[in-house]
Structure 1
Amino acid sequence: MFSIRPIYDTTVPVDAQSIEQVQTILAERFPLIAAEEVANLPATLKNPLGKGYRTIVFVAEGQRRLVQGFALLCHFSDLRFCYLDYLSVSLRHGGHGVGSALYERVREEAKALGDTALFFECLPDDPALCRDPELLRENVARLRFYERYGARPIINTAYETPLSAEDDCAPYLVADPLDKPLRLSRERVRHVVRAVLERKYKEKCSPQYVKMVLDSIPAGNLALRDPRYVRETAPPRVPGISADRRIALICNENHAIHHIRERGYVESPVRMKSILKEIEKTGLFLRRQPRHFAERHITQVHDRQFVSYLRTVCANLPEKKSVYPYVFPIRNAARPPRELAVRAGYYCIDTFTPLNGNAYAAARGAVDCGLTAAEELLAGRRLAYALVRPPGHHAERRAFGGFCYFNTSAVVAHRLSAHGRVAVLDVDYHHGNGTQNIFYERSDVLTLSIHGHPKFAYPYFSGFAEERGEGAGLGYNRNYPLPEEVDGERYAETLRQALKVMADFDPAFVIVGLGLDPAKGDPTGTWRLQARDFFLNGRLIGALGRHTVVVQEGGYRIRSLGVNAANFFQGLFEGMQIARRS
């Protein structure tokens, strides 16, 4: 058994380890390849456009992440075509369907990138061009394999002309139409051939050789050789999304144990059901079971005594008994909210987040889901979604409130920070005071929050634009407080500003605190975002192309909750595809 996944860079250790195995197979199966080219593969991935095209590696991995085969795809984004550079299985794992699965995954990627055809080279099956009988048999087998998918050599060109008279077995240029009619003009083919010869082989092909090949391309549409080995091509695969491209979905299934039935308590279990119902229709998600993690992950961002208190008090409360805090710490009294009635609670975190027998367990379950999502990224996945409740972004290092007990986003960010820089983007209607508090003096985690201005919006005491961090963290906290009336256009404008700051920070990982409460009609907000706005916001975030964990925060208008979530993730997925094309 094996699974296939793409590697776009070596940010996470598991990808770096897999690329080391790919380098071994390259040297093993292609002894004529330059050692420098093999050694430079990690650098090539790190600098995607250094050669004028982007390199994507697909690995087929078995148990213990042993690489059984790989494919190396070059995407020429400016010309909108893909070139398959290498496809090989290891000597140890030849056969077993690895090569077929890799090629089918490459074809899917080429289709997703919007390409009209997939190009690659294949050594000739003509005895006049290849004098070695054993090599000729291998070439026949290889061309027979590709012909099953409709891929055949391009004819009527001089592409297979050797670079020198002494050379033997110069390759054909092969085109796979990707299950569509092939209509490529002479001009289009010339662009493709020129890009391959001048960028891929710029140190081997002289200008005179390139001109000779280009001049040989006849007028009219591109022509492929007639089928020689296979009467019928393989039927097109049913359109879909391969498992490695889907968004890992992790839910804390036991969240309903935390159910406050009092009137006005909007953070209810039905929120999860509403979101799940709609997002599962998209076909973008792949369910993953949450793992259980030690409490030490929580105490790395929350005060140990605070965590112990929550655990102890919740364990000793009677069933169905809730305790509401009634003694509060003094907060920043220099910036009181507008309404006098609100000021009474300004000196505490709030009066509406109760403790009960299940609060600690539910919050722990949410953290487990967030950490499972983080592990999906560390295993090479690009997108993961922790659909959790209770939310967490209001939980500070040693305080809870706003329906939040433990800050899942902060726990995830700290976990990932051991492997690279992290940016936490909070798009909830309410300021992520907890996340800001936890990372306020750190420079390895950039925190950004777009929210209602604290002069009228919870939590009232934090989220001002001048709060920029302290000490080592100065400049690494950014707040974008907005007025009471905000539409999708104004929100997207602010989001673009935040994403520019994030891009300059250049994080390896992005955590999105997904609040759906900016939606029109949300009972806790005043903004007017609609489904199309959530789609655009997701698209803008996805276009960064970073390993991304989305953690569910607020959002309480049940009628539109799921539709808005589905639109956000469709946009996020599409944005990630845009990043892959660029």
Structure 2
Amino acid sequence: MFRIRRIYDNTLLINKEALIQIQAILRQQFPGLTSEEIEALPFRIRDQLKYGFQTILFVAEGAHRKVQGFALTLVDPLLHFMYLDYLAAAKLTTGRGIGGALYERIRQEALLLECRGIFFECLPDDPAISRNPEIRKENRARLHFYEYFGARPIIGTRYETPLKEGGDNPPYLVFDDLGQNRPLSKGLARRIVRTILEKKYKGICPPEYISMVVNSFNDDPIRLRPFVYIKEAQASLPVRNIPDDEKIALLMNKEHIIHHVHERGYVESPVRIGRILSHLEKSGLFKEERLRPIPDSWLRNIHDGDFLDYLKKVCTSIGKNPSVYPYVFPIRNATRPPKELVIRAGYYCIDTFTPLNGPAWQAARQAINCAITGAKLLEEGHHLAYALIRPPGHHSERRAFGGFCYLNSTAAAAQYLSHRGTVAILDIDYHHGNGQQNIFYKRNDVLTISIHGHPSFAYPYFSGFEDEKGEGEGKGYNVNIPLSENIDGEKYGEALHRALKIIRRFSPSFLVVALGFDTAQKDPTGSWNLTAKDFYANGRDIGKEKYPTLVVQEGGYDTKRIGINARSFFTGLWEGTFFR
């Protein structure tokens, strides 16, 4: 068994390990490559513009992350074609379907990128230009393999002219039209061939050779060699769908409904999740993943032990009894908390409208499991993940709950990822992310940014001011962007671009987005006017940054519009991540 995934960077540990193994395969199977070319592979992925193509790398991994094969492709976004540079299986893995699975995957990618087709070179099966019978046998097998997918050599050109007179095994140029049956014009073919020869073979093919080859493409449209090894009807068509490795990993606590506060006016209700989910299921962008349990002890990395012990104990003691609301607060003597658990609620709470009840602890704990599972998936090579959770968490501080929040799931995910690289938290809920600010205020490995309603009129009122910039090592790593009471999508976009510029300067290994839909028009807890098109634009702008990104659900209480706003945001995020 193996899985195929795309490698986006050379910074994650899992990607570094895979790149080392890929380089070893290149050394073994492509002895003509120089050390410089092999060592440049990680930089080709990271610095797309320098090499003239967008480099896309797929890897097939077996048990224990052992690389069993890889495919390296080059994409020209202007001429809309893909060039397959390498497709290789590790030794002792041929015949296990790895090459076919990898080629199917790049065909899916080419269709998603709206490419005209895939071009690549294949050594010839013609005895006149492939003199060695053993080599020719291998060439035939390779051409047979690609012919199964409908890919065949372009004929009637001088592409297979050796660079040096008398040279053996000059390659065919093979074309796979991806089953689109769109004729390739002479003009476009010439531009594509010139691009391949000038960019891929820069410094190798002299200008006069390139012109000779390009000018030999005279058929209009170009012609492909008839099928030789299979019948045309047997050719495989690519599957037009979103591959699993590009879907957004979805993490859900399906038992969140146990936390259902029925009091009138309590807007943090289970229907929020159902409305979001119903719209996401229609998008085809998501793949639900299994949750992984996280021990209670791990929570002490973000919350104080006395707070955690209290919260768990009081919720357990309330059980099925009615919810308890904090009503006594320790303004005068915080050093002597009441012994009565229920009365002590105000000792750990920042408001009077966040209830304690039996299911609150269980639901909040499962939300933590969702968020950290999402963080682990980023660590394992997923590029996008979404923790669709309730209750929310971004108002929960190191030793306080409030704002419908009990445990800080966003902070938990960021804390987990901080051991794997630097992390930026972008809080785009209507309300200030006071919880993350409080937890990471003295740290410089986690950048916290919050765009929110100004505390002069918006909850939680006591934090979120622009001059709160962090302390000690964390000074300068907490950024608040408070906005006025009436904001439209254009003004919000300006604030978001400012935040993304700061994140770009920080250059994190991971991005955690605390997502609130309470910025939407007519949300009962907000005053802004963002619409579905604004959520799409915001998602796309975030996705364009290309960071491994975990989105954690926070607020959003207009259940009529929350579903379409969610679908719009994630459509934009997905498109921005995988396309420009």
Q: Do they fold alike, i.e. is TM over 0.5? A: yes
The aligned runs of 1:159-174 (5 Å cut-off) are 159-174=159-174
1:156 aligns with 2:117: no
Q: Displacement of 1:365 after TM fit? A: 0.7
List per-residue Cα deviations over 1:178-210 (Å, max 9, x = no partner). 111333333432332222222222232223322
Percent of aligned pairs sharing the same letter: 54
Task: Give, in whole Å, the separation in 1 of the partners of 2:450 and 2:330.
Answer: 24
1:388 aligns with 2:389: yes
Task: Give, in whole Å, the separation in 2 of the partners of 1:548 and 1:92.
Answer: 36
Name 2:481's counterpart in structure 1: 480
The aligned runs of 1:415-426 (5 Å cut-off) are 415-426=416-427
- Which segment is superposed worse, 428-437 or 192-201? 192-201
Closer/same/farther in 2, CA of residues 400 and 221 from structure 1, 3 Å limit: same
List per-residue Cα deviations over 1:284-330 (Å, max 9, x = no partner). 11011111012343211222222222122222224233222223366
1:292 aligns with 2:302: no
Task: Give, in whole Å, the separation in 2 of the partners of 1:565 and 1:263.
Answer: 25
The aligned runs of 1:124-163 (5 Å cut-off) are 124-163=124-163
Helix, strand or coil: the match of 1:392?
coil
Task: Give, in whole Å, the separation in 2 of the partners of 1:491 and 1:42.
Answer: 36
Helix, strand or coil: the match of 1:350?
coil
Name 1:61's counterpart in structure 2: 61
8 A Cα contact 1:117 1:182, kept in partner = no
Name 1:180's counterpart in structure 2: 180
Gaps of 5+ in 2: 333-345
Name 1:363's counterpart in structure 2: 364
Q: Displacement of 1:170 after TM fit? A: 1.0
List per-residue Cα deviations over 1:92-117 (Å, max 9, x = no partner). 11112211111010011111122111
Q: Displacement of 1:71 after TM fit? A: 0.7
Which amino acid in 1 is paired with 2:226? D
Name 1:515's counterpart in structure 2: 516
Q: Displacement of 1:468 after TM fit? A: 2.1
Name 2:114's counterpart in structure 1: 114
Task: Give, in whole Å, the separation in 2 of the partners of 1:243 and 1:95.
Answer: 23
Helix, strand or coil: the match of 1:380?
coil
- Which segment is superposed worse, 428-437 or 298-307? 298-307
Name 2:2's counterpart in structure 1: 2
Helix, strand or coil: the match of 1:99?
helix
1:552 aligns with 2:560: no
- Which segment is superposed worse, 321-330 or 305-314? 321-330
Task: Give, in whole Å, the separation in 2 of the partners of 1:179 and 1:284.
Answer: 24
Task: Give, in whole Å, the separation in 1 of the partners of 2:166 and 2:424.
Answer: 56
Task: Give, in whole Å, the separation in 2 of the partners of 1:504 and 1:394.
Answer: 26
8 A Cα contact 2:82 2:117, kept in partner = yes
Name 1:353's counterpart in structure 2: 354
Task: Give, in whole Å, the separation in 1 of the partners of 2:455 and 2:131.
Answer: 78
Q: Displacement of 1:76 after TM fit? A: 2.6
Q: Displacement of 1:78 after TM fit? A: 4.2
Q: Displacement of 1:165 after TM fit? A: 2.4
Which amino acid in 2 is paired with 1:576? T
1:73 aligns with 2:73: yes
- Which segment is superposed worse, 430-439 or 159-168? 159-168
Which amino acid in 2 is paired with 1:410? A
The aligned runs of 1:486-505 (5 Å cut-off) are 486-505=487-506
List per-residue Cα deviations over 1:378-404 (Å, max 9, x = no partner). 111111000111100001111111011
Name 2:335's counterpart in structure 1: none
List per-residue Cα deviations over 1:460-497 (Å, max 9, x = no partner). 11112222222222222222222222222222222222
Name 1:96's counterpart in structure 2: 96
The aligned runs of 1:9-28 (5 Å cut-off) are 9-28=9-28
Aligned residues: 565
List per-residue Cα deviations over 1:387-425 (Å, max 9, x = no partner). 111100001111111011111111111111222221111
Name 1:256's counterpart in structure 2: 257
Closer/same/farther in 2, CA of residues 257 and 161 from structure 1, 3 Å limit: same
List per-residue Cα deviations over 1:100-140 (Å, max 9, x = no partner). 11101001111112211111111111111111111111111
Helix, strand or coil: the match of 1:93?
coil
8 A Cα contact 2:130 2:136, kept in partner = yes
8 A Cα contact 1:155 1:224, kept in partner = yes
Helix, strand or coil: the match of 1:446?
strand
Name 1:226's counterpart in structure 2: 226
- Which segment is superposed worse, 312-321 or 9-18? 312-321
Task: Give, in whole Å, the separation in 2 of the partners of 1:218 and 1:427.
Answer: 56
Name 1:375's counterpart in structure 2: 376
Helix, strand or coil: the match of 1:253?
coil
Which amino acid in 2 is paired with 1:412? A
Q: Displacement of 1:219 after TM fit? A: 6.3
Which amino acid in 2 is paired with 1:71? A
Q: Displacement of 1:277 after TM fit? A: 1.2
8 A Cα contact 1:524 1:556, kept in partner = yes
The aligned runs of 1:427-446 (5 Å cut-off) are 427-446=428-447
Helix, strand or coil: the match of 1:391?
coil
List per-residue Cα deviations over 1:251-277 (Å, max 9, x = no partner). 012212222221111111121111111
Q: Displacement of 1:524 after TM fit? A: 0.8
Closer/same/farther in 2, CA of residues 238 and 167 from structure 1, 3 Å limit: closer
Task: Give, in whole Å, the separation in 2 of the partners of 1:526 and 1:262.
Answer: 23
Which amino acid in 1 is paired with 2:541? L
8 A Cα contact 1:301 1:410, kept in partner = yes
Task: Give, in whole Å, the separation in 1 of the partners of 2:209 and 2:443.
Answer: 56
Task: Give, in whole Å, the separation in 1 of the partners of 2:273 and 2:147.
Answer: 48
Name 2:277's counterpart in structure 1: 276
8 A Cα contact 1:329 1:348, kept in partner = no
Closer/same/farther in 2, CA of residues 352 and 127 from structure 1, 3 Å limit: same
- Which segment is superposed worse, 362-371 or 164-173? 164-173
Structure 1 stretches (4+) deviating beyond 6 angstroms?
Answer: none
Helix, strand or coil: the match of 2:4?
strand
Task: Give, in whole Å, the separation in 1 of the partners of 2:24 and 2:198.
Answer: 27
8 A Cα contact 2:326 2:349, kept in partner = no
Which amino acid in 2 is paired with 1:135? I
Q: TM-score, normalised by structure 1?
A: 0.93
Task: Give, in whole Å, the separation in 2 of the partners of 1:516 and 1:226.
Answer: 56
- Which segment is superposed worse, 463-472 or 367-376? 463-472
Helix, strand or coil: the match of 2:45?
helix
Gaps of 5+ in 1: 332-344
Name 1:337's counterpart in structure 2: none
Q: TM-score, normalised by structure 2?
A: 0.93
Task: Give, in whole Å, the separation in 2 of the partners of 1:87 and 1:545.
Answer: 25
